[in-house]
Amino acid sequence: MNFDMRHLDPSLANEKQFTHKFMLREDSTNELMTESLRFAFMEVARFNKPKDECKTFEERFLYIMKNLPTFVEKPELWDDDPYFDEMVQEAEFASMTLDEKIQYAYAMKAKRDYKNTIDFAREQGEEAGFAEGLEKGKVEVAKRMLADGLKPDLISKFTGLTEEHIAAL
């Protein structure tokens, strides 16, 4: 990322181009080795745009890469792209001591365990609530069917309630 690519070709002296992409070719035949292997070089040191002028993903990425070592605290980044927030979090983790990383790992495990516990309880509650609501709905339908004079065996067939339950209504 500390490359200066302007020496390769005068056309690369473009002050707005900071990323250069290359592919592998055979020297003698100029045959492309593969479409899937590419190299990207970023001229981070030449990038000097202020944060508020960074509009594209590439500009934002270059801004973060150049300024990451100077951040004293986590900066407010671009709300429309959570990638940059995650990038800063990864950098914060990488700069921690081994003890801090261990403490962080324990804290994240506890947080995930807590979230999973809450999610499981919510799921169970939703299932129980759904089952209870379904049962109440069946009872209400059975009551209306009884009021319309339908026979208990027919009501049982359509609601799934037992004839004893229907008789108790």
pLDDT in tens, 54-83: 888 888 888 888 887 777 666 676 666 777
Is residue 34 within 8 A of residue 24, CB to CB? The reply is yes
Enter the pTM of the model: 0.46
Q: Is residue 127 part of a domain?
A: yes
What count of Cα atoms within 13 Å lies in the side-chain half-sphere of residue 117?
6
More confident residue, 86 or 7: 86
The per-residue pLDDT for range 2-12, each reduced to its tens digit, is 666 666 665 65
**Position 133 confidence tier, pLDDT thresholds 50, 70, 90:** confident
Does residue 169 register a pLDDT over 80? Answer: yes
Q: What value does the mean pLDDT take over residues 140-154?
A: 88
Range of the domain at 154: 98-168
Q: Is residue 109 part of a domain?
A: yes
pLDDT for position 59: 86
pLDDT for position 102: 93
List the structure tokens of 86: 């995650």
Q: Is residue 138 part of a domain?
A: yes
Q: Is residue 147 part of a domain?
A: yes
d(CA 57, CA 42): 13
Q: Is residue 114 part of a domain?
A: yes
Q: Is residue 144 part of a domain?
A: yes
More confident residue, 13 or 140: 140
**Position 13 confidence tier, pLDDT thresholds 50, 70, 90:** low
Q: What value does the mean pLDDT take over residues 98-108?
A: 92
pLDDT for position 47: 85
Is residue 49 within 8 A of residue 63, CB to CB? The reply is yes
Is residue 37 within 8 A of residue 45, CB to CB? The reply is no
Q: Is residue 108 part of a domain?
A: yes
pLDDT for position 165: 87
Domain count, the chain: 1
List the structure tokens of 146: 């009884």
Q: Is residue 148 part of a domain?
A: yes
pLDDT for position 15: 65
pLDDT for position 5: 65
